Structure 1
């Protein structure tokens, strides 16, 4: 099977529904897109895996937006990777970058799990529908859990929708010896329980802490059977199934839900594209004071700016930001 044919299966999201289980979801497979993002920044492998995971989550959530706007995931933590940022611009544009401390990273074991790189802090989920609409932001505390677990925590606390997420990131090798090439791949699946009856969607209450003596004990919580089945099936997914370029998203969904029947909908392509431009850079610089702009001028007589997302370097002449007429 040709590489070109396999590539057509990547960088797209497929919505699906399992009506017998009142479940809906999306599956994403990222090939060239995630490889370009990670190769451009040349992150160490553990950082690349972490970036891949949060990009997958952002795509799974961002493609559910029903409006033209932006969805952003951002972490701020005390770990070796102290910041992750993913911008998803509906309906299909994504960009990402990470900031890490090389010394802290070197002190971790080579097989450190992504959650060990993050440490403690928070994950913010922001929906921006434009200047005419108020922004929505949800916050999840990061206390050593994985990106998957943080997503579950968000849906449990904020959206109160039973949700299961699976994410996998890995490297593939093609060719032999000196002709071999390493490339990154990533994949993910989200399934949610959306029955007609809100009572069936109910989840277990959060732990109340230390209850006063004599307080009545809460009744045992029983999950809906349909949700237990859907969640349990998704939990059987192995990483290689989300990464295998020869296994299509449709085949994976059939493998999971064929006994119940699964409907797939039109695939949504996803592209890696930055929002930066020369006009945006000049506009940003113009917001600084004249003294601040003057201090930015380098030895070559120009202001140099590198986009953190796409690594594009811009050279801005002083006159472009109003410094020519300055005394």
Structure 2
């Protein structure tokens, strides 16, 4: 297999459907985009792993939604891993890549480098936010932190908030090909019951952790049998099939689900992208008075801001920001 054919599937999300099961899904491979997300920061390994898992989930979930603009994941807890935040921006035009960015906030004094990252989130919530752009009402769905991983939290979210049984099988970590430097790589499969096959259920509570819904609380009859069968097949997937650069996603789908009549659609490329800009910084400061801006001004007489996602640094003249700005916003510092 040539290097070109191996790279062709890196940083892509491939949608598919299992016609026999009424189940849809996605196969994702993140390579260079994950390195770009993580190289913006100097995270300890346990935090890197959480960000990698969240970015992979974001790629899989974002591609299932017909976005005009942005989908965000937020994981907040009271433990030392305080916040994991990701954004997925839908393609701006046909043939263009979707864009992902991510960052984490953590308490380095409380963080344990030997314990699993998920255990250090503590009590909190897992949220998905969808912003379809100007003139549209943003959507937000929240479920408590539950299960033993971020993917388990996402499964709980879809069962609880959307009543859509959903399964994630993910693998991520540092890898190295012969003659190449070590870098981050991630891959995963998402399965989800087709929306029309999932009946709306009254909020009576479920059989999951703390009364949360599970797929068995939502499905019955043929739909439950189909879902169980698809999950049993996914249970046979191997780690190298998820992340291995020489395993094509189409070959993986045939190996796992050939009896379920898999059908694939156009793959979506994914890249790193940040939407921060000087104009956005100025807009965020436009609500402040000159007095407020004065409190934000450094000893050097500048107003500065750093993007948490990409690390971009903005250095502005305080006279040009706020709703009492004396000069036009043309200063570049």
Q: How does 1:163-182 map to 2 (within 5 A)?
A: 163-175=166-178, 181-182=181-182
Is this contact kept in 1: 2:143–2:161, CA < 8 A? no
Aligned equivalent of 1:99: 105
Tell which deviates more after alignment, 236-245 or 77-86.
Answer: 236-245
Residue 300 (structure 1) aligned with residue 300 (structure 2): yes
Shift of 1:132: 2.1
Aligned equivalent of 1:214: none
Shift of 1:239: 2.8
Is this contact kept in 2: 1:23–1:195, CA < 8 A? no
**Cα distance in structure 2, aligned partners of 1:175 and 1:317:** 50
Aligned residues: CA RMSD: 2.9
CA deviation profile, 1:219-238 (whole Å, cap 9, x unmatched): xx767322111011122223
Secondary structure of 1:151 counterpart: helix
Alignment gaps of 5+ in structure 2: 92-97, 210-216, 328-333
| TM-score when normalising by structure 2 | 0.84
Q: How does 1:55-134 map to 2 (within 5 A)?
A: 55-91=55-91, 92-105=98-111, 108=112, 110=114, 112-134=115-137
Secondary structure of 1:247 counterpart: coil
CA deviation profile, 1:162-202 (whole Å, cap 9, x unmatched): 221112211012456xxx62200111211112286556x99
CA deviation profile, 1:78-125 (whole Å, cap 9, x unmatched): 1221001111122312111100111111xx252x22321211101111
**Cα distance in structure 2, aligned partners of 1:196 and 1:283:** 42
Aligned equivalent of 2:144: 141
- Which contiguous aligned blocks of 4+ residues in structure 1 show a shift greater than 6 angstroms? none
Aligned equivalent of 1:17: 17
**Cα distance in structure 2, aligned partners of 1:195 and 1:4:** 37
Alignment gaps of 5+ in structure 1: 210-217
Secondary structure of 1:20 counterpart: coil
**Cα distance in structure 2, aligned partners of 1:208 and 1:319:** 56
Aligned equivalent of 2:240: 240
Cα 1:275–1:198 change in 2 (3 A) is closer
Tell which deviates more after alignment, 28-37 or 253-262.
Answer: 253-262
Shift of 1:316: 1.2
Secondary structure of 1:206 counterpart: coil
Secondary structure of 1:167 counterpart: strand
| TM-score when normalising by structure 1 | 0.85
Is this contact kept in 1: 2:76–2:84, CA < 8 A? yes
Aligned equivalent of 2:154: 151
Residue 321 (structure 1) aligned with residue 321 (structure 2): yes
Shift of 1:244: 1.0
CA deviation profile, 1:196-227 (whole Å, cap 9, x unmatched): 6556x99x971499xxxxxxxx9xx7673221
